[in-house]
């Protein structure tokens, strides 16, 4: 098991990519703090882990990642329950948007920045301090997005926040290397999470067509990559962006070729 004896915090761990990653990590031998703003759903995930035969491998914590105090407390909780911290997966986030000129900054900008951007900053800072103090190194993985590298529809604030995650990752890798810490960002494309699955079937088909296989990526596929990045097998991957977008960023759109 590639994550044997590792301890991880997964923010946004109660659903979507986070929930899939919790299950992947415990199957790979890790112990996980499921950190989510919805404590009941986080506890439900812990119950799922226990029912799957991994009793004691997970614990729940209510965490608002926009609050540095909450994230610090989550790190302290992981250390209290499991004895240390090895992996921080900054995954919690929100989506949504509207045309820029229709923005209400307090509704359409500030919340996105507080959660998707500041939440990652808080996770990097709190985990980085813990790794330094432990003297054992660690791994910080943060969820950016394909939107962090390109312009997209209705995504002014979201794209800005996700671009910041990429910049944070590079800077964290640079500054924390002396403490044996790696930092990596992932950029998911169209993933079948509750956020996307709430949309119409027609829109979901359009989303799927933007990827090379023509299907949505499953949360479990992202979790597989995150588990690899958290493991010692990926020690050479540091300060970079790992695209988990099934080719979304490598092409525009398929079209029927004309007859030549």
Taking only the tens of pLDDT, the chain with its 260 residues reads 899 999 999 999 999 999 999 999 999 999 999 999 999 999 999 999 999 999 999 999 999 999 999 999 999 999 999 999 999 999 999 998 899 999 999 999 999 999 999 999 999 999 999 999 999 999 999 999 999 999 988 999 999 999 999 999 999 999 999 999 999 999 999 999 888 888 889 988 988 999 999 999 999 999 999 999 999 999 999 999 999 999 999 887 766 666 76
Active-site hit among 109, 121, 147, 158: 158
- Which helix H or strand E contains 9, and what residues bound it? strand 7-11
Tell me if 189 sits within 8 A of 207, measured CB to CB: no
What whole-number distance in Å separates Cα of residue 171 and Cα of residue 116?
17
Spatial CB neighbours of 71, under 8 Å, sequence gap ≥ 6: 11, 63, 65, 119, 122, 123, 125, 126
What whole-number distance in Å separates Cα of residue 91 and Cα of residue 186?
10
The answer to whether 121 is a known catalytic residue is no
Structure tokens at 135: 């003297």
pLDDT of amino acid 260: 63
Q: Angle 76-145-3 (CA atoms, 0-180°, nearest 5)?
A: 45
Nearest to 38 by CA among 69, 22, 68, 60: 60
DSSP structure string for 130-179: HHHHHTS-EEEEEE--GGGSS--TT-HHHHHHHHHHHHHHHHHHHHHGGG
pLDDT of amino acid 253: 73
The Cβ-side half-sphere exposure at 230, using a 13 Å CA radius, reads 34
Nearest to 147 by CA among 123, 117, 102, 121: 117
Query: How many of the other CB atoms lie within 10 Å of CB of 203?
Result: 11
What whole-number distance in Å separates Cα of residue 243 and Cα of residue 186?
6
Q: Which domains does the chain have, with CATH numbers?
A: 7-247 (3.40.50.720)
pLDDT of amino acid 257: 65
Task: Label residue 214 left, alpha or beta by phi (over 0 means left) and psi (-120 to 50 means alpha).
Answer: left
pTM of the model: 0.95
Spatial CB neighbours of 117, under 8 Å, sequence gap ≥ 6: 160, 161, 164, 165
In the block, residue with structure tokens 């790979």: 28
């Amino acid at each position: 098991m590639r994550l044997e004896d590792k301890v991880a915090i997964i923010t946004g761990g109660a659903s979507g990519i986070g929930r899939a990653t919790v299950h992947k990590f415990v199957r790979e031998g890790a112990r996980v703090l499921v950190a989510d703003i919805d404590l009941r759903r986080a506890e439900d995930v812990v119950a799922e882990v226990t029912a799957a035969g991994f009793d004691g491998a997970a614990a729940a914590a209510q965490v608002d990642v926009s609050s540095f105090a909450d994230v610090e407390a989550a790190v302290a909780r992981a250390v209290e329950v499991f004895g240390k911290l090895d992996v921080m997966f900054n995954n919690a986030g929100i989506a949504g948007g509207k045309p820029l000129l229709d923005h209400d900054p307090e509704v359409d900008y500030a919340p996105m920045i507080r959660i998707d951007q500041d939440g990652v900053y808080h996770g990097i800072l709190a985990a980085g301090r813990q790794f330094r103090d432990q003297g054992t190194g660690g791994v910080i993985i943060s969820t950016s997005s394909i939107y962090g590298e390109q312009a997209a529809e209705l995504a002014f604030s979201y794209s800005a926040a996700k671009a910041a995650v990429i910049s944070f990752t590079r800077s964290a890798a640079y500054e924390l290397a002396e403490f044996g810490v790696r930092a990596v960002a992932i950029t998911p494309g169209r993933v079948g999470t509750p956020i996307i699955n709430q949309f119409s079937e027609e829109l979901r088909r359009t989303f799927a067509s933007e990827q090379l296989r023509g299907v949505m990526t499953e949360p479990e596929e992202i979790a597989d990559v995150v588990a690899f990045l958290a493991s010692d097998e990926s020690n050479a991957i540091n300060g970079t962006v790992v695209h988990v977008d099934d080719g979304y960023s490598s092409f525009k759109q398929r079209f029927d070729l004309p007859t030549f």
